[in-house]
Amino acid sequence: MRLGFRHIQLISPYHYRISLPPRRFSTTPMAASQVNKTAHAFDKSRLEALLNRRFFYAPAFEIYGGVAGLYDYGPPGSSLQANIIAEWRKHFIVEEHMLELDTTIMTPAAVFETSGHVARFADWMVKDSKTGDVLRADHLVGGVLEARLAGDKEARGLAAAPVAEDKKKKKKTAKAAAVKLEDDVVKEYESTLAQVVLLSCSRWIWATQPEIYLPYGPCPIRHLDNYTGPQLGELCRKYKIRNPDTDNEVGEPQQFNLMFTSSIGPTGQHPGYLRPETAQGHFLNFSRLLEFNNGRIPFASAQVGRSFRNEISPRAGLLRVREFTMAEIEHYVDPDDKSHVRFPEVRSQVLTLLDRNVQEAGSSRTTQMTVGEAVDKGIIANETLGYFIARISQYLVKIGINPARLRFRQHMGNEMAHYATDCWDAEIENATGWTECVGCADRAAYDLSVHTDRTGHPLVVRQALKEPIVTEKETAEWNKKLLGKTFKGDAGVLQKLVEGLPEAELVRLKGELAQGSAVVKSADGKEFQLTPELVTIERKVFKQSIREYTPNVIEPSFGLGRILYTLLEHSFWAREQDIERGVSLSSYLHTVWALIAGLQVLSLPPIVAPTKVLIVPLSAREEFAPIVQEVSNKLRRAGVFSRVDDSNTSIGKRYARNDELGTPFGITVDFASVQNRTMTLRERDTTDQRIGSIDDVIAAVTDLVLGNIDWEQACERLPAYDGVQAVE
Amino acid sequence: MRLGFRHIQLISPYHYRISLPPRRFSTTPMAASQVNKTAHAFDKSRLEALLNRRFFYAPAFEIYGGVAGLYDYGPPGSSLQANIIAEWRKHFIVEEHMLELDTTIMTPAAVFETSGHVARFADWMVKDSKTGDVLRADHLVGGVLEARLAGDKEARGLAAAPVAEDKKKKKKTAKAAAVKLEDDVVKEYESTLAQVVLLSCSRWIWATQPEIYLPYGPCPIRHLDNYTGPQLGELCRKYKIRNPDTDNEVGEPQQFNLMFTSSIGPTGQHPGYLRPETAQGHFLNFSRLLEFNNGRIPFASAQVGRSFRNEISPRAGLLRVREFTMAEIEHYVDPDDKSHVRFPEVRSQVLTLLDRNVQEAGSSRTTQMTVGEAVDKGIIANETLGYFIARISQYLVKIGINPARLRFRQHMGNEMAHYATDCWDAEIENATGWTECVGCADRAAYDLSVHTDRTGHPLVVRQALKEPIVTEKETAEWNKKLLGKTFKGDAGVLQKLVEGLPEAELVRLKGELAQGSAVVKSADGKEFQLTPELVTIERKVFKQSIREYTPNVIEPSFGLGRILYTLLEHSFWAREQDIERGVSLSSYLHTVWALIAGLQVLSLPPIVAPTKVLIVPLSAREEFAPIVQEVSNKLRRAGVFSRVDDSNTSIGKRYARNDELGTPFGITVDFASVQNRTMTLRERDTTDQRIGSIDDVIAAVTDLVLGNIDWEQACERLPAYDGVQAVE
């Protein structure tokens, strides 16, 4: 259909209003998959402008100048996050009957001393020698060397690739751009960088491997050989690296613990930390959880909550923040049996894997493989880990992550903690590279063991054995009174000595004692004379009916802000503009308006979209109000969250505005609704419109939102709309 | 039905198992309201034991010795809290189309300097002169005087009322018990206490009235005349008050700010606080929210989130904690129009009110009144405040708060901040008295104004006036060059002087200037000669088409932990035991078991109950598994959260265990389910059982959980169960 002058209402010779009809009127339904979403290249700055303008999120304390790494979520961002969490609860907690927890953020120091965070949860920082400004040592070295290499490329007449998103940094980079370097210096820089860049790897996994420090960020695949603080200091001196903002020298790298510190109570004597992960809150409650689960294992605890990391200089939007919402699962299993009862359900699930061996061979080529095969081949260590990796993949795809931009990367041998069996990160590709968004690690018995050791409270499972284990052994029974009287201070030594003897020795002693007496010698040559009055050696039967063990922990840990941001990137596109369609004034103006305002779309799946249905009355006229109210009530009763937009702009603009908010469906209430009780239903991605009775449309949209049908099925129920009535 | 030996299974002469049948088999349904829930007096310690044992919540870091005022919620507590929040979202955010926010906890100091928290959000504390232990000054004075009065009563032969819940304190109190006081000393103590006790009033309301400090806790109704720190110090000296734990003297009271402090970033130069309320996060985002709402007002923002208060010595369970979840609404209105469009919907809602006048007359007698009447009579200041009070009341009753133990108490004149118009607290009665759980205040323009002043960012509404306001007035136009040349430093003074003149004076000047020249005199007698070249005075027309104003804020603020705890108190009861029913061994043992284990019930409404339906297969036999699975799946599809308990204990015990968790309905799967596809449905409060086909029972229980029908209606659908099959 061609746009024409009948859509233009002349108000004055210089002022006309264009009523934009729905843009597509095809009578054959278009599948969402047929929509060309790549007509425009992805533009991160346009997405960020949209997210800021529509208040998905914004820098916190903006009117006070903001604080780096702290963001507030506005209405659409909060709803999106709430829906991501609700789906997470359904997919994991409800489905698996996990035990949910809500533990405190403020934590006494002793807990993180035990877990290792106080000693090792730190970054290396350097101070500007004059201004005192603080920089992250690895970022500084990496940034300066990259800038020099870029400058070298420019000097050699090669195109300099943009080094950093940060405008300020870019400027500095440009400044240093013209200097050509010696060939061997280039080589040296590149080899240094290969190792430094790894430092911008993710830190989610830190908790699973405290001895190796890995900070946040996109994770290129390189061999791990990262630098310690002193080594970074050495690099600064060797390459004469200065603070690029001031050109001042920097001091020696110092460790900076990334936990926010505080103090509990009024005396100032009880240091506290804000938790950097929710996991410790699970572990400390293990005994209560086990009891709640009637002593049975395996089971899992789950928690969604805020955590804090005092980043030195966060600059990557939602991908590196100082305060964030996590969702963590701790699944407790028998170390001798890591099978999973529901593994057969996911066995045939195909995953994109980047395993340890491939990376260690210097490649980043992924493989498609079923999780069943990966476990069978020993690529994934055990069924439980495989089960969770498959479930994580299902979840991410369900909420709208593009499966083609999702991979599971295994930690390399040297990335892994000594106690960890296996660890895989769900990495999601975005404009900055591949970012770890979920970690899935087998933490073995580490956490429960260290807290047991520190507190003396046994975080263990005691299981009645079906068949008691029966053993027989020679056992010494002492006459304690006589023992003490005879050997005084040496009594204990003697007792230990005899009880530690091997079975054969005890049999020998027993024989000698039957003869009247026996002699034992200690390691330092002391001799003890034993008599039958003093000690009896007898063969006794021992029956062990309880098995006690520290369970192992499989931990899927989700960074919800990172998932939310990458989901927004994957959902964002701009509509293809059909400028050839007509050369009428309205078409021209439409195109110009679209180019200026931007017909941008967030194709969020209904399951997570902040608003499911937009109700658009043709105008704010009173005659539409009862129908709008009726539709709104019926949708609410059906459990579908809708919003009404009766603002004083064209229907097209109102739809465009809600395409930006990711609202998947729109219902137009117009004169036909009043006269014939029909409404039109619009799908966001195709902009297709269908028509039906009020109740049919409500039934169809409810099924669409609940995921019972897709758009093509809805089109079978509702005829195409020819577009005449909307512009009456 | 009488219990008999057929319920006892003999295992050995000294070991028998009792299969408890459902206790009631009446064929006429019993309304939940007919259940006698007060057969046993409320016993707080029994409730607390239950909550701890079933892990509703427990002291955080328990295995590390715990930290006062920090609690972890276990599985039932987390679910209960999640359901309370979900219902809050539905009742407020969805229903009113509020704009949800999720802002950060970590806050730079400047924000709380502006809001007044840095200067005034503090308690008075004293230090033990030898041990350095810290005590809250008001608690100390109050506690010691109360103990002495109790001791006096005992010495006079009157019953000494228990003074504190705290066991340690009780012991100390008992020690001091025997001393009789002079009559006038008793009088003096009582009059002092009348004022000190008010200090254990709630602090929710603090934010609305920063100049008056009111700490947490139950709120007795007394006139406000609280003590300052120096006055508390004076009382300690005058009454020789010492630390009752050590008998040491205490030092001078010092102010202790109740915000947890921290530091943002690595330099240590950016002090931060953990927010003590979520409200500031709303206010700072006001401009963005207004824009998101298309510039329209009124609207509300809402947020559920964690807040922190570093209490000096919290000892009241969930009623006074250091970390808690709040839900806050900030509703922005035109200060000239506080009507509410939905007020007619709540007009006839009856509230229990305790208004300001009654309290100022020294009474605590409440009045039942419709909210319409209260607003009409000016008892509640305006419609919007009245609307929210009514909605808060509906919400609390809906989730299970006993309406007879809910009242709205108005702040007295001297409790109220100078800028606040009106403030009401929803107080819920519990074992410790009346506790404020929701504050509902008209904060006027205070918050938005102070942040505007501090940041220069105008947090205002700009509204196009329908009819521009047209005014005419005499206006001076200066020849700036000549003005400066002629009067130099005095030019500004002169300009201000003339422009500040009243209309009549300007008319006079205009006349004189028309004659050639005029003279004006400043307040300090200086004379200025004016000429027509220097200034022209003309009548001009001004048209104001935009109205700019700072909106007022109505703030309902919910302490979710307090609501959760009082709800648990209101839901808790113990079943009446029919010991007369039979003297059989089983009946006797049943009673003994009930007395020991306690047949305790939490009558949580289905809407908030952690688990809605318990599925109980007669045993863990495989033949029941398919039906259990079928029922579980069908319920999940219907949106009903169920759990299966197939543990190896009697059905009666499994039900009793789930009565303690507040599970409202139980479904028994037995042999009849396999043979005839019937199941029984049990209601928690009445223990009534009905029978029906699998699908009928699922349909009935779904309607029950969704609140479509009540138990009596369910009984019309499903016949009574005679109890034969369950014990096959």
Lowest model confidence (mean pLDDT) among A246-255, A680-689, B130-139: B130-139
Residue B521 in tokens: 């005199």
- Taking each helix axis as running N to C, give the angle between helix B137-155 and helix B167-175, from 0 to 180 degrees, rounded to the nearest 10: 50
CA distance to partner chain B, nearest, from residue A98 (Å): 9
- pLDDT-derived band at A155, boundaries 50, 70, 90: confident
A640 → chain B, closest CA residue: B94
| Cβ–Cβ gap A105/B105 under 8 Å | yes
- Chain A residues touching B78 at Cβ < 8 A: 100-102
- What number is the average pLDDT over the span A78-103? 95
In this structure, are residues A689 and A723 in contact, taking their beta carbons and an 8 Å threshold?
A: yes
Lowest model confidence (mean pLDDT) among A206-220, A714-728, B28-42, B488-502: A206-220
A323: nearest CB among B106, B451, B455: B106
Residue A223 in tokens: 């061999």
- Chain B residues touching A110 at Cβ < 8 A: 64
The DSSP secondary-structure symbol of B61 reads T
Q: pLDDT tens-digit profile of A106-120? A: 999 999 999 988 888
Q: pLDDT tens-digit profile of A410-446? A: 988 766 666 678 999 999 999 999 999 999 999 999 9
Lowest model confidence (mean pLDDT) among A144-148, B276-280, B672-676: A144-148
Q: Where are any strands of DSSP class E within B74-206?
A: 99-100, 106-108, 122-127, 134-136
CB count within 10 Å of CB B216 equals 25
Alpha-carbon distance of A325 to A327, in angstroms, equals 7
The DSSP secondary-structure symbol of B487 reads H
pLDDT at B446 over 70: yes
| Residue B414 Cα to chain centre, angstroms | 22
Q: Is B53 exposed, middle or buried (0-12, 13-18, 19+ CB in 10 A)?
A: middle
pLDDT at A174 over 80: no
- Chain A residues touching B81 at Cβ < 8 A: 102
Q: Hey, of A125, A288, A324, which one would you mutate to test binding to chain B, going by the most B CBs within 10 A of its CB?
A: A288
- Chain A residues touching B653 at Cβ < 8 A: none
Q: Which segments of B207-330 does DSSP mark as H helices, in order?
A: 229-238, 279-284, 286-292
- Chain B residues touching A285 at Cβ < 8 A: 55, 58, 62, 72, 74
A285: nearest CB among B72, B284, B643: B72
- Chain B residues touching A101 at Cβ < 8 A: 72-75, 78
Give the model's pLDDT for residue A599: 85
Identify the bridge partners of residue B261 per DSSP, sorted by sequence position: B273
Report chain B's terminal Cα–Cα distance, integer Å: 16
Give the model's pLDDT for residue A22: 45
Identify the bridge partners of residue B614 per DSSP, sorted by sequence position: B643, B666
Give the model's pLDDT for residue B723: 66
CB count within 10 Å of CB B329 equals 25
Three-class DSSP category at A42: coil
- Chain B residues touching A63 at Cβ < 8 A: 284, 287, 451, 455, 457, 459
- What number is the average pLDDT over the span A76-104? 95
Q: Which segments of B421-559 does DSSP mark as H helices, in order?
A: 446-455, 480-487, 491-499, 503-514
Cα atoms in the 13 Å half-sphere on the side-chain side of B177? 15
Q: pLDDT tens-digit profile of A473-484? A: 889 889 989 888
- pLDDT-derived band at B360, boundaries 50, 70, 90: confident
Identify the bridge partners of residue B436 per DSSP, sorted by sequence position: B427
Backbone angle region of A65, left / alpha / beta, with phi > 0 → left and psi within -120 to 50 → alpha: left
- Give the helix/strand (H/E) hosting B643: strand B642-644
Q: pLDDT tens-digit profile of A715-724? A: 999 999 976 5
Q: pLDDT tens-digit profile of B148-199? A: 888 888 888 875 444 444 444 444 444 456 788 888 888 888 877 765 544 3
CB count within 10 Å of CB B376 equals 14
CB count within 10 Å of CB A575 equals 20
User: Whose CA is closest to A19, among A606, A590, A693?
Assistant: A590
Alpha-carbon distance of B600 to B614, in angstroms, equals 17
Q: Residue holding tokens 């009428």? A: A584
> A4-13, long-range: CB within 8 Å, 24+ apart, which pairs?
A4/A582, A4/A584, A4/A586, A5/A584, A5/A585, A5/A586, A6/A727, A7/A586, A7/A727, A8/A585, A8/A586
Backbone angle region of A34, left / alpha / beta, with phi > 0 → left and psi within -120 to 50 → alpha: alpha
The DSSP secondary-structure symbol of B636 reads H
- pLDDT-derived band at B39, boundaries 50, 70, 90: confident
Q: Which segments of B458-613 does DSSP mark as H helices, in order?
A: 480-487, 491-499, 503-514, 560-571, 585-593
- What number is the average pLDDT over the span A80-104? 95
In total, the C-beta contacts within 8 angstroms joining chain A to chain B are: 213
pLDDT at B626 over 50: yes
- pLDDT-derived band at B593, boundaries 50, 70, 90: low
A108: nearest CB among B61, B104, B132: B61
A295 → chain B, closest CA residue: B647
Give the model's pLDDT for residue B649: 86
Question: What does pLDDT average to over chain B?
Answer: 84
Better-scored residue on pLDDT, B509 or A76: A76
Lowest model confidence (mean pLDDT) among A347-361, A385-399, A682-696, B493-507: B493-507
Q: pLDDT tens-digit profile of A525-578? A: 888 888 898 898 989 999 989 999 999 999 999 999 999 999 999 999 988 765
Alpha-carbon distance of A355 to A414, in angstroms, equals 13
User: Whose CA is closest to A550, among A657, A450, A479, A477?
Assistant: A450
Alpha-carbon distance of A239 to A242, in angstroms, equals 9
- pLDDT-derived band at B316, boundaries 50, 70, 90: confident
| Residue B276 Cα to chain centre, angstroms | 14
Q: Hey, of A104, A124, A254, which one would you mutate to test binding to chain B, going by the most B CBs within 10 A of its CB?
A: A104
Alpha-carbon distance of A692 to A676, in angstroms, equals 10
In this structure, are residues A726 and A670 in contact, taking their beta carbons and an 8 Å threshold?
A: yes
Residue A475 in tokens: 């056992």
Better-scored residue on pLDDT, B197 or B517: B517
Q: pLDDT tens-digit profile of B304-313? A: 999 999 988 8
| Cβ–Cβ gap B266/A289 under 8 Å | no
Give the model's pLDDT for residue B173: 43
| Cβ–Cβ gap B289/A451 under 8 Å | no
Residue A489 in tokens: 């201070």
Better-scored residue on pLDDT, A38 or A498: A498
Alpha-carbon distance of A102 to A282, in angstroms, equals 9
Give the model's pLDDT for residue B16: 47
Three-class DSSP category at A718: coil
Q: Tell me: cis bond preceding B298? Omega within 30 of 0 counts.
A: yes
**Percentage above 70 pLDDT, chain A:** 83
Strands A535-549, A461-478: pairing is antiparallel
Residue A40 in tokens: 């425009």
Backbone φ and ψ of A171, nearest 5°: -60, -50
Cα atoms in the 13 Å half-sphere on the side-chain side of B142? 18
| Cβ–Cβ gap B322/A78 under 8 Å | no
Sheet holding A106-108, edge to edge: A106-108, A271-274, A261-263
- Chain B residues touching A302 at Cβ < 8 A: none
CB count within 10 Å of CB B200 equals 22
- What number is the average pLDDT over the span A301-314? 93
CA distance to partner chain A, nearest, from residue B306 (Å): 9
- Chain A residues touching B284 at Cβ < 8 A: 60-64, 72
| Cβ–Cβ gap A55/B111 under 8 Å | no
Identify the bridge partners of residue A9 per DSSP, sorted by sequence position: A17
**Percentage above 90 pLDDT, chain A:** 51
- pLDDT-derived band at B454, boundaries 50, 70, 90: very high
Q: Which amino acid is at A584?
A: S
User: Whose CA is closest to A56, among A77, A84, A85, A78?
Assistant: A77
- Count each helix (H run) and each strand (E run) in chain B, helices first: 26, 30
Lowest model confidence (mean pLDDT) among A664-673, B190-199, B246-255, B383-392: B190-199
| Cβ–Cβ gap A110/B64 under 8 Å | yes
State how far the alpha carbon of A118 is from the alpha carbons of A110, A123, A416, in Å: 9, 12, 20
CB count within 10 Å of CB A681 equals 26
Q: Where are any strands of DSSP class E within B334-445?
A: 350-354, 367-370, 406-410, 423-430, 433-444
Alpha-carbon distance of A594 to A601, in angstroms, equals 12
CB count within 10 Å of CB B557 equals 23
Task: Quote the ipTM score.
Answer: 0.82
| Cβ–Cβ gap A455/B63 under 8 Å | yes
Angle (nearest 5°) at CA A133 between A129 and A136: 100
- pLDDT-derived band at A177, boundaries 50, 70, 90: low
User: Whose CA is closest to B64, among A279, A113, A276?
Assistant: A113
Give the model's pLDDT for residue A620: 80
Give the model's pLDDT for residue A586: 58
Give the model's pLDDT for residue A261: 94
Residue B728 in tokens: 């096959």
Identify the bridge partners of residue A250 per DSSP, sorted by sequence position: A128
Give the model's pLDDT for residue B516: 86
- What number is the average pLDDT over the span B472-480? 89
**Percentage above 90 pLDDT, chain B:** 51
Give the model's pLDDT for residue A726: 41
Residue B19 in tokens: 């299969």
Three-state SS letters, B209-227: CCCCCCCCCECCCCCCCCC
Give the model's pLDDT for residue B159: 59
CB count within 10 Å of CB B28 equals 7
| Cβ–Cβ gap A323/B75 under 8 Å | no
User: Whose CA is closest to A196, among A153, A238, A137?
Assistant: A137
Q: pLDDT tens-digit profile of B521-544? A: 888 888 888 889 889 999 999 998
Give the model's pLDDT for residue B669: 95
Three-class DSSP category at A667: strand
Q: pLDDT tens-digit profile of A610-662? A: 999 999 999 888 899 999 999 999 998 888 989 999 888 888 889 999 999 99
Rounded to the nearest 10 degrees, how much is the dihedral formed by the CA atoms of A639, A645, A646, A648? 180
A94 → chain B, closest CA residue: B641
B266 → chain A, closest CA residue: A312
Backbone angle region of B626, left / alpha / beta, with phi > 0 → left and psi within -120 to 50 → alpha: alpha
| Cβ–Cβ gap A75/B100 under 8 Å | yes
- Taking each helix axis as running N to C, give the angle between helix A44-53 and helix A560-571, from 0 to 180 degrees, rounded to the nearest 10: 110
| Cβ–Cβ gap B64/A264 under 8 Å | no
Q: pLDDT tens-digit profile of A179-232? A: 888 888 888 888 777 655 443 333 333 333 333 333 322 222 222 235 678 888
- pLDDT-derived band at B302, boundaries 50, 70, 90: very high
Residue B51 in tokens: 């909550």
- What number is the average pLDDT over the span B639-647? 89
Q: pLDDT tens-digit profile of A577-615? A: 654 444 456 556 655 656 554 589 999 999 999 999 999
Three-class DSSP category at B249: coil
Question: What does pLDDT average to over chain A?
Answer: 84
The model's pTM = 0.83
- Chain A residues touching B306 at Cβ < 8 A: 105, 306
| Cβ–Cβ gap B264/A67 under 8 Å | yes
